[in-house]
Amino acid sequence: MTLIAPERAEANLVEVRGVKHFYGKRDSAGLLVLDDVDLTLRPNEIVGLLGRSGSGKSTLLRTIAGLIRPTEGKVTIKDMPGEDSAHGVAMVFQSFALFPWLTVQQNVELGLEAQGVSPEERRKRALAAIDLIGLDGFENAYPKELSGGMRQRVGLARALVVQPSVLLMDEPFSALDVLTAETLRTDLLDLWCEGRMPIRSILIVTHNIEEAVLMCDRILVFSSNPGRVIAEIKVDMPQPRKRLDPAFRAL
Ligand code: ADP
Ligand code: MG
């Protein structure tokens, strides 16, 4: 765990206030997906967003990532310039969203393309992220040569390489088999607990209650039709954030 000054611990990292989103026209013909959503993310926490399929979770995450502009309301990402090297948000997608014609390293470097980072620095940071996430030696592999779990590791490396302060994860494990999901989740929690990822908070979308309880400090319950945060559950259980037996990994 990172130690943070009390005043910083109080500050919100992400604020979502009164967000409404319609797909299509803003009338009876349009689809109201998000209705008056409020959400806060504070430093040093993993927050779960738990809700049914089709309830608007991905839409909300994309809104926070700046990929969708909400019809109404406001999303604020409160970075702390000068204090941290971490800035902004990065997202991990359920379907990995890798480019099949690019290698692992090229996929990861893509995350930095828009940031004006020099090629040498891009290479250095991409290799560090690939190493961190356990894909050392696979830099030149193509996504089709990798298992699902490894592909999602590439997705994670591509998100981490931009050094975001907030990591948004949209059902990151739901395309994986149970054992692979468990391994990746444990590895992610290890990196988080050991402070090896430069991120300050994680917002993870899931419809898996067990996963939410195992990973999160708080769980926000999301209603459907329309999507809205209707309850907050604090998870007080000691987190089983222990490393898996290596034998389990070999499966
Ligand atoms: P979830 O991630 O909780 O499954 P989504 O945010 O993906 O929910 O979708 C919420 C609702 O909005 C669904 O009814 C879905 O069909 C609809 N929807 C999602 N994306 C679009 C889009 N680009 N255009 C129109 N409707 C969409
Ligand atoms: Mg979704």
The 8-class DSSP code of residue 247 comes to H
pLDDT of residue 236: 79
Calculate how far, in angstroms, residue 96's C-alpha sits from the geometric centre of ligand 2.
13
Task: Please give the Cα distance from 195 to 2 (Å, whole number).
Answer: 6
Task: Please give the Cα distance from 227 to 34 (Å, whole number).
Answer: 5
> Which is the closest atom of ligand 1 to the Cα of 171?
2
Confidence tier at 238 by pLDDT (50, 70, 90)? low
Query: What average pLDDT does the segment 26-47 reach?
Result: 88
For residue range 7-27, list pLDDT tens digits in order.
445 588 999 999 999 998 777
Q: Whose CA is nearest to atom 15 of ligand 1?
A: 54
Q: In angstroms, how far is the first alpha carbon of the chain from the final one?
A: 30
Ligand showing the shortest atom-to-Cα distance for residue 51: 1
Among 32, 33, 206, which residue has the most ligand 1 atoms within 8 Å of its CB, making it the best to mutate?
33
Q: Is the pLDDT of residue 250 over 60?
A: no
> Which is the closest atom of ligand 1 to the Cα of 222?
3
Calculate how far, in angstroms, residue 59's C-alpha sits from the geometric centre of ligand 1.
6
Quote the ipTM score.
Answer: 0.98
CB 201 within 8 A of CB 4: no
CB 19 within 8 A of CB 75: yes
For residue range 131-165, list pLDDT tens digits in order.
999 999 999 999 999 999 999 999 999 999 999 99
Rounded percentage of the chain residues whose pLDDT exceeds 90: 66
Query: What average pLDDT does the segment 194-211 reach?
Result: 89
Query: What average pLDDT does the segment 30-44 reach?
Result: 92
Calculate how far, in angstroms, residue 90's C-alpha sits from the geometric centre of ligand 1.
20
Between 81-85, 140-144, 146-150, 215-219, the lowest mean confidence (pLDDT) is in: 81-85
* Helical segments of the chain, H only: 6-10, 57-64, 104-113, 119-132, 148-160, 178-193, 209-215, 246-249
Which residues have any ligand 1 atom within 6 Å of their CB?
Answer: 23, 31, 33, 51, 53-59
Q: Is the pLDDT of residue 234 over 60?
A: yes
Q: Is the pLDDT of residue 251 over 60?
A: no
Confidence tier at 243 by pLDDT (50, 70, 90)? very low
